[in-house]
Structure 1
Amino acid sequence: MAHWLFQEEHELLRRSVRSWVEKEVKPRVPEWEEKGEFPRELFARAGELGFLGLTFPEEYGGSGEDYLAGAVFVEEVYRCGSAGVAAGLVASTGIAAPQIYKFGSPELKERFLPPTIRGEKIGALAVTEPNAGSDVASLQTTARREGDYYLVNGSKVFITNGVRADYVVAAVKTDPAAGKNGISLLVVEKGTPGFSVVRKLDKLGWHTSDTAELVFEDCRVPRGNLVGQENLGFYYLMQNFVWERLSMALGGVVGAQLALEEALRYAQQRVQFGRPLSKFQAIRHRLAEMAARTETARCLTYHALALFVSGQDAVTAVAMAKNYACETACYVADEALQIHGGYGYMMEYPVQRLWRDARVGTIGGGTTEIMREIIAARLVNG
């Protein structure tokens, strides 16, 4: 059912993305899950269809549409049933490239945005470190100026797209003594001496999304690769966190919806004691609660999206949406697995993947605890 927030052009886009996902992505998900990655060519295909440049201007190869179009893409690509595929595609143009588009020099934009929008280059945002996750101000990777270069030393972990990224937008300390006021963003390209991918991380969920640990050892990065102004990186990151968290909320709603659909399908087909599971009151009430929570998460997320696209302060609403939607995805997936009984614990049933993929939603992009702190701080401080 169409929602009032989306106009006719958004629904046309939705049908286009959904058709692509149903025909070219979803059928291959089991194969990609087994291999632990999806092909790089998928970026190029999404770029060819115009899906990676929806929110970027035409001068860089985008289509100049609004963030509602971006939200439609996020929702529909998550419907492939593999959050890892969605995370990989969304991270490049929804998390990494926006830092360059919003704050980078004209030269950086020309070098990185068009090939990223075409899907020829893959981007990653490198913030989290072994000893600095939610506390971004405490990151320890340093970048010391030496003539026309920055000498970068440190490490990053849990970096989505980090294994095969052609470039990473790395958060570094250019003034280690200044806390959050000493953070800058540097674009570090693949193949730069001193920059290496230590390993691809083995995860509980998001199997198709490559997640890396990165190391910088006397890595020389040209000063021209500085994004925006030196020491303003923390504030740049905070501005795009709103969209990143909104994207995760949208993904959470879709994950919950898919889990509900799997549970309903199974309950209608599985016969016990002479009748389908869907005829038992205990199961029917579970399904009702799952549906209600999913719809509540959708409404809260769309409310936050409406505030965001209208240019209003959406920080609190997005924190609420991200928190509730991702927690709901975990709850609904767990209930769906329980309804499947022993079969839910078998790898051949999609519900186990939905259950595994949902869990990271309450951690990545800001934990549930951080979201609650944001909400509480704004309630108390006004």
Structure 2
Amino acid sequence: MKLNRQHELFRESVRMVLDRECVELVDDWERDGVMPVHQLCKTLAAEGLLGLTMPVEDGGLGLDLGYSYVWAQELGRVPAGAPAMALSVQTDIVAPLLARAGTPEVRRDVLRPAIRGELVAALAATEPAGGSDLGALTTTAVRTERGFTVNGTKAFITNGSVADFAVVLCRTGEAAGIGDLALLVVPTNLAGVRQVRHTGKLGHRSCDHGTLTFTDVEVPAAYLLGEVGEGYELQTRTFTRERCFLAVVALGQAERVLRATVHHARRRRVLGRALTDHQAIGFRLAELDAELDLVRSYAGEAYQLLADGAQCLREASIAKLRATRLLREVADVGLQVRGAAGYLGVDDVERTYRDARAGSFAGGADEALLHLIAGHLTGTEQE
């Protein structure tokens, strides 16, 4: 990714904000299992961080994607995955979708308040029976005189039980296959919407995840994004930016853990020598460092393709696949190097080890990404 001095100055600024608003507080959030996402969004919005690349006319800053790239890197420095998971939905998944396909009413009622930190967003595509197969969705949106009636259930949704609105992928029944999919903005205060929080998660314990159930929910026609039948295409475009963003966040997390592990290994002595002086440890850390450089370079190129307006779902999927796998590997080695102390959770590596497991399915399961990559290879590409 091509960055200039302005991007680096922004990095210094956003790092100070995240240190103050997240790094110093995240241990308490994780202990309590709750992150004050509404207050956090308001605070970050006051710093201009919720609309970095959004149109100026909608309250954003209208900046280039280099700022999104730096934002993702810095979120990766936070010693817990929860803030990045919750905020990525707000800034780099839902907001760009609303800016691209939202009606004037959606921009006025939803996008602009979200950029101001007044509304928390969710993207509701995954259902209890699965999320990777978009063509198998069962949530319906039946056209009425005033708009659509929505029925169905979405599960494992980031910000699901606290969101003020959700962008919901629905089946309309107006065409065959994926041609009848539509995206609707559904305020969660509408009659018939029920939100339930998931608890007892392995990782991302302070990030809200929940189930959204829709029972005869009446949604205005103006809250349709694009046209009926464009849901699949819009969702695929969303996947592209989401996967680029998640890849860069994962690499930021991997770098943080690797640096901390090297620091620990240099100070810890076994058989009279630092752990880094034992080839079994030193070479393993060197391999991870080399892999981190390679994957970071590839993810940066994928982000640059995105910034240039190129079709890069394949590249985004590769970046996300390799970055999240590398994070799991780095966290595993970090825990091993610390031994029993790591298992007891004396620092944030144990937390990262738990959080990193979600990378194999959040934002696209590894198997779904490999299926897409294989499709490009064989000429049968399909999400």
Question: Quick check: 2:328–2:356 contact (8 Å CA) kept in 1?
Answer: yes
* 1:297 partner amino acid: V
Provide, for residues 14-58 of structure 1, a one-character-per-residue CA deviation record: whole Å limited to 9, x for no partner: 111111122332111111111112212111111100111101011
| Alpha-carbon distance between aligned partners in 1 of 2:174 and 2:345, rounded to the nearest angstrom | 47
- Quote the offset at 1:208 in angstroms: 1.9
Match of 2:24 in 1: 27
- Quote the offset at 1:124 in angstroms: 0.6
Question: Quick check: 1:122–1:166 contact (8 Å CA) kept in 2?
Answer: yes
Are 2:231 and 1:233 equivalent residues in the alignment?
A: yes
Match of 2:244 in 1: 246
SS in 1 for 2:25: helix
| Alpha-carbon distance between aligned partners in 2 of 1:91 and 1:312, rounded to the nearest angstrom | 22
Question: Quick check: 2:59–2:115 contact (8 Å CA) kept in 1?
Answer: yes
| Alpha-carbon distance between aligned partners in 2 of 1:317 and 1:145, rounded to the nearest angstrom | 36
Match of 2:181 in 1: 183
- Quote the offset at 1:180 in angstroms: 0.8
| TM-score using structure 1 length | 0.96
| Alpha-carbon distance between aligned partners in 2 of 1:349 and 1:148, rounded to the nearest angstrom | 54
Are 2:374 and 1:376 equivalent residues in the alignment?
A: yes
Match of 1:363 in 2: 361
> What is the correspondence of 1:1-382 to structure 2 with a 5 Å cutoff?
5-39=2-36, 40-175=38-173, 178-381=176-379
Provide, for residues 119-161 of structure 1, a one-character-per-residue CA deviation record: whole Å limited to 9, x for no partner: 1111111000012310011100011123213221110011001
Structure 1 runs (4+) deviating above 6 angstroms are: none
| Alpha-carbon distance between aligned partners in 1 of 2:296 and 2:244, rounded to the nearest angstrom | 11
| Alpha-carbon distance between aligned partners in 1 of 2:47 and 2:197, rounded to the nearest angstrom | 32
Q: Percent identity?
A: 37
Provide, for residues 299-320 of structure 1, a one-character-per-residue CA deviation record: whole Å limited to 9, x for no partner: 1111111222122232222121
Bigger Cα displacement from structure 2, 261-270 vs 166-175: 261-270
> Which sections of structure 1, spanning at least 5 residues, go unmatched?
none
- Quote the offset at 1:177 in angstroms: 5.9
- Quote the offset at 1:273 in angstroms: 2.9
| Alpha-carbon distance between aligned partners in 2 of 1:90 and 1:114, rounded to the nearest angstrom | 17
- Quote the offset at 1:326 in angstroms: 0.9
Question: Quick check: 2:160–2:211 contact (8 Å CA) kept in 1?
Answer: yes
Question: Quick check: 1:44–1:120 contact (8 Å CA) kept in 2?
Answer: yes
| TM-score using structure 2 length | 0.95
Question: Quick check: 2:105–2:223 contact (8 Å CA) kept in 1?
Answer: no
| Alpha-carbon distance between aligned partners in 2 of 1:99 and 1:306, rounded to the nearest angstrom | 19
* 1:166 partner amino acid: D
